[in-house]
Structure 1
């Protein structure tokens, strides 16, 4: 039934693109909030919560099959108070009910459909249901609620008790382990390496997610150990991802995951949070390896984000859908005939380069473009000069982008989220840190100004922004990820306002998120609306956990501001999870990166003098994974303890390399500073200038 022939439901007043997608369903949807929860209590009806997100393929399928079906919608409306939740807007709600599914022994995913008592306590749930199965389930749950209410209530109480277990209790983390040891660090590396796919890279089998925090840790592990096996795996993984269909070979940017082990067939949705982190990863990998492919991935991915996900005001939108014209991947794939029409006589060489065939490697005879060998090898095999090949590739991309411009675009989720913007902000700052491209810094500064102007009110952050409004109280991930991005922005600008903003936000989290007893942070602000449980996030997933990021932030802020309370809390947080980290490092890899920073003292590199920005740029062309940078053209202008009593000697730009409040002799060249850093580590890790 066309939307114009339907009356909209309450979701028509929401700003979330995902909720608006459901605004013309015949289901009497509510958004999560007091109105719906009160209605359930007043009418004594169970609650049906359906959680998804705008770019979710199976969410769209279930909507078409069930939520647009008038008969099924009538059953939902008759028996339940129905609530739609955008998991990206309400990760707190999503986390609680996803945890419930795990307690039920059900594999989680989206759409996530959970049945609750009128008090919002869960008693049953699942993910995608075919329409007949969904209809039968609705009837079964409604009958059970009428006839076996006491049993459902008892089951719900058990689930709520499980949800309110502390993370430390749940995983048996009773005693903190404060020891930071070389042998344990190597055990972390060994245990994470057990999951390596040595043929195609990545971890485990299909489906494969990029998991940037795993490889950021492995880069640090490689730096410390010089382990050739680790180096080979990093290069294999980053190369295969960049060559695969998970990477958009024509327009740049990464899809969310690959459905196969070879990184060939992606789930075509493109998420801001993936691309921000992958910019950081490939920029850092370039620092460590100077691999040209990694340079290209960073520049192309940033170009994609700026072109397709950046708002006029400087914020970044959330995602692009996987589907267009009702087909997944249609926007990104090509038939052989389409390629020949566009490329003419060059099509056979193009198809050889990108492995396009007449039968296709995807649905409907379409081709997912992908590579298998480096340009230099392809050029040699095809008797071409490499620079000629590279010029042809640029021309092919331009022509195919023109074809794309005429296609129906995938739907855009145009809400702006603080946490995801912070990941992209850090990606841009990391790219500038590595490559010195001024446009990257301009984008970063514009985005930082947008976030602080529109998503911060007083001392508090908000999570979401659309159409001039920010409405949802910020979560720990918003604070943690923005603090981390602002710390990096300070390092590439030496503008102390970013550092002071980071400190203020950290102090707010200490006052409003910290569990003093467990010395870990809750995910939700104590001033936010109450849910059936107040959770903590400790596992690093496709995005690092908010607690691991906060522990890292506190480590860095302790160095910048000489604040012992920050450093102590960071130590306590790591100590709480250490035993789990040793056993399951692939699920705590950002914690593992923090472990690396505490294994040997973090170097404090202070640059003072008229050429401080230039000296910083020279130093950051090298891979320095355990360094904090501070600087000023005149130290007397600084409020930072790190810069106190550290003048520019004789007016010349001066570098101070310090560890544990003890400094080396001041020097005046990057080469001398790098030698001091190199000599402090055994074996040497830095090249000689």
Structure 2
């Protein structure tokens, strides 16, 4: 008989609905049963594209004997970490406080009151069963000790950030010297031979390179630019990037960007779109344009829902084998490519026995198109023709295979990141299709994933049903995407929507101690109207996705400029002042904060465009790399503060460049704007 997960919409939970384990979703029913039956709780957390989650399911959760031990001795709860990041964050933090290396599947043991006392990640079946017996014996025979331990972890989780990290109110110091400290903290850990950071596995970590782009804009440090281009080149040419179909995998298992963990996540690809588009505007490298266009084509083809939202992820496995969909045996390649195999094998580093495991090849490169074509004595156009033909043949074969599983839930925050990526790509390349996708996505988010009754965002959507109150990262990413979309289109409704969401956040996510002398300007991850867990945390550290508070600080700053809201700027500065000592100590874990510090070292250009060519002028300005600006514009007139009482000059489009709300004389050409900016 299916367990209680059969009523869920999460693909990950539904994968476990027919396990013999008596799984419950996270919720009051399971927690009440644990209290009433006085049983310890297993909370097992994972996600649909998680390889080792699937392995543990096959080895343990699908086995009757293992399930019997779990069902008799525990209340068993399955959690999709992408659907409930609040639950995941609390118990991940608890497990790390226990001295356990975090990861997924995350299996945490709780007292009946939901306070944690032990946790592990993947275990082979016999080890898992042995642990279950030991945990149950400890619960029965040493209950008081476990309860004391659980209480200690719960107390630790409820420490304020001020207590935990010594964060205090302070004025931020936006100085070049501060920026150099942040840069050196990151540069010393960067891999200056292979790109990325000096570690394996290697994750793309877009916020690191976004910070370096802004640092380079301020300083012109060529070493920083080299580290950016080295990393972006190696990722785009490596196995972490799908050379045939586009899109990035979640991480590389090695230090060379060669062998990916093949799952593809929306949050990576949305952020990397924005990063590569912005890097192209600086470097004009054809490779970066190729990555943007091909990755958008991948997302449109494989992740876009009919309603305009983007699905969450593609699995790493197909037919139970990781990477089988994306890799080829040498005989397959020889048969398909014929006389083209020789040069193709040289370009993509193929070997007779396969360059990866089980005789399979991962397509990866070490040379750009231009370098390879020159070495072969071909023109770039000739190589492009050859690549198009060979890629088409291989994609035809690949598309006949059994595809990796699709996680077809739609997450608000990840769609916000994709919206920002699409809007940024449109601003740089001017491709109408990119704007069409961005507009569809924005309409979807505001129509399907916002509660019309109270303006609240929903976190997840599937099969026409939105559920789970939105978290801070949902608001942060959607506001960021809407601000980019406004600056791409000058459609003021997007700016209005962003401000309405911001006002909801400040009302419902702020610390209730706001106004006291020691009030914390950081925002809680959860809505005050949401479910009450054993702790209410604030997300500060940037990871594969930037921290929701760092995104909100930048949103506050941008809105303060576009709407002339000094209270927003004050809040952003309070956040930056409080976090600055932590950023200076741990810059590589707070790189999105560092990127905002880099913007604040110099005044931000507030650029107002008024007149019939406002859109054309905007397009010209956006094609060039200049991150420290905000744009607003109108073809006629507007009540926005930067546009009030400003109009064309003798019928010509006028551009007003302002700093700290002090404006220079208007000009009527983009060349004149660049002279003023530079």
User: Structure 1 segments of 4 or more deviating over 6 A?
Assistant: none
For residues 31 and 343 of structure 1, what CA distance do their matches in structure 2 show? 49
Is residue 167 of structure 2 the alignment partner of residue 173 of structure 1? yes
Residue 208 of structure 1 contacts residue 259 of structure 1 at CA under 8 Å; is this kept in 2? Answer: yes
SS of equivalent to 1:376: helix
| Structure 1 length-normalised TM | 0.97
1:98 match: secondary structure: helix
Kept after mapping to 1: 8 A contact 2:509/2:523: yes
* Counterparts of 2:443 and 2:272, CA distance in 1: 23
Give 1:479's match in structure 2, choosing from 475, 490, 504: 475
Whether the 8 Å contact between 2:110 and 2:117 is mirrored in structure 1 is: yes
Question: 1:462 maps to which residue?
Answer: 458
Structure 1 residue corresponding to 2:491, chosen from 490, 495, 499: 495
Structure 1 match to 2:427 = 433
Which residue matches 2:237? 243
- Is the CA contact 2:612–2:635 (under 8 Å) kept in the aligned structure 1? yes
| Aligned partner (choices 617, 620, 624) of residue 619 of structure 2 | 617
Alignment equivalent of 1:566, drawn from 548, 565, 568: 568
Task: Give the secondary structure class of the aligned counterpart of 1:162.
Answer: helix
Q: Does the aligned pair in 1 maintain the 2:202–2:252 contact within 8 Å? A: yes
Counterpart Cα distance in 1 of 2:368 and 2:561: 42
Partners of 1:564 and 1:377 lie apart in 2 by: 51
| Matched residues, number | 670
Aligned partner of 1:595 among 553, 572, 597: 597
Report the Cα offset of residue 376 of structure 1: 2.3
Residue 112 in structure 1 maps to residue 106 in structure 2: yes
Instruction: Identify the residue that residue 225 of structure 2 maps to in structure 1.
Output: 231
Unmatched segments (≥5 aa) in structure 1 = 1-6, 679-689
- Residue 206 in 1 paired to residue 200 in 2? yes
Tell me the equivalent position of 1:4: none
1:305-354 per-position Cα deviation (integer Å, ceiling 9, x unaligned): 00000011111000000000111000000111101111111111111111
Q: Secondary structure at the match of 1:460?
A: coil
Could you tell me how far apart the structure 1 residues matched to 2:99 and 2:599 are? 37
Match of 2:676 in 1: 676
1:530 matched residue in structure 2:
532
> Match for residue 437 of structure 2?
443
Superposition deviation, residue 175 in structure 1? 4.4
Contact kept in structure 1, 2:171 and 2:573, CA below 8 Å: no
Partners of 1:666 and 1:382 in 2: CA distance: 52
Aligned to 1:124, what secondary structure does the other structure show?
Answer: strand
* Cα separation, 2, equivalents of 1:386 and 1:284: 24
Within a 5 Å distance, the mapping from 1:80-95 to structure 2 comes to 80-95=74-89
Q: Residue deviations 1:370-427, cap 9 Å, x none?
A: 1111222212222222211111011111111111110000000000000000000110
Give CA deviations for 1:409-467 in whole Å, capped at 9, x if unaligned. 00000000000000001100000010000000000000100111100013100000000
Q: Which moved more, 1:91-100 or 1:373-382?
A: 373-382
Q: What is the CA–CA distance in structure 2 between the aligned matches of 1:657 and 1:126, rounded to whole Å?
A: 56
**1:26–1:73 Cα contact (<8 Å) kept:** yes
Q: Does 1:216 align with 2:218?
A: no
Q: What are the residue-to-residue correspondences of 1:576-587 with 2, within 5 Å?
A: 576-587=578-589
Q: Per-residue deviation at 1:560?
A: 1.1
CA contact (8 A) 1:177 1:578 kept: no
Q: CA deviation at 1:204?
A: 1.7
Kindly state the Cα deviation for residue 298 of structure 1 after the two structures are TM-superposed: 0.4
Decide which moves more: 352-361 or 167-176: 167-176
- Equivalent in the alignment of 1:604: 606
Matching residue of 1:256 = 250
- Which whole-Å CA distance do the structure 1 matches of 2:350 and 2:152 have between them? 54
How far apart are residue 180 of structure 1 and its match?
A: 1.6
The answer as to whether partners of 2:655 and 2:673 remain within 8 angstroms in 1 is yes
What is the rounded CA distance, in whole Å, between the counterparts of 1:179 and 1:231 in structure 2?
A: 25
Deviation at 1:168, TM superposition (A): 2.4
Match of 1:681 in 2: none
The DSSP-based 3-state class of the residue aligned with 1:629 is: strand
SS in 2 for 1:620: helix
1:594-631 deviation digits (Å, cap 9, x = unpaired): 11121111110000001110010011111110100000
Give CA deviations for 1:246-270 in whole Å, capped at 9, x if unaligned.
0000000000000000000000000
In 2, Cα distance between equivalents of 1:188 and 1:377: 34
> Hey, what's the Cα distance between the residues in 1 that align with 2:347 and 2:140?
63
Q: Secondary structure at the match of 2:534?
A: coil
- Give the C-alpha shift of residue 367 in structure 1: 0.3
> Is contact 2:217–2:626 with CA below 8 Å preserved after alignment?
no
Residue 510 of structure 1 is matched in structure 2 by: 506
The structural deviation recorded for 1:171 is 1.4
Gaps of 5+ in 2: none
TM-fit CA distance, 1:177: 4.3
Answer yes or no: is 1:57 the counterpart of 2:59. no
> 1:428, 1:452 → 2: CA distance?
17
Query: Are the equivalent residues in 1 in contact too, given 2:169–2:574 (CA < 8 A)?
Result: no
Deviations 1:141-184, CA, capped at 9 Å, x for gaps: 11111111111110000000000011222112234242221111
Alignment of 1:96-495 (within 5 A): 96-458=90-452, 459-495=455-491
CA distance in 2, matches of 1:648, 1:172: 52
Q: Give the match's secondary structure for 1:650.
A: coil
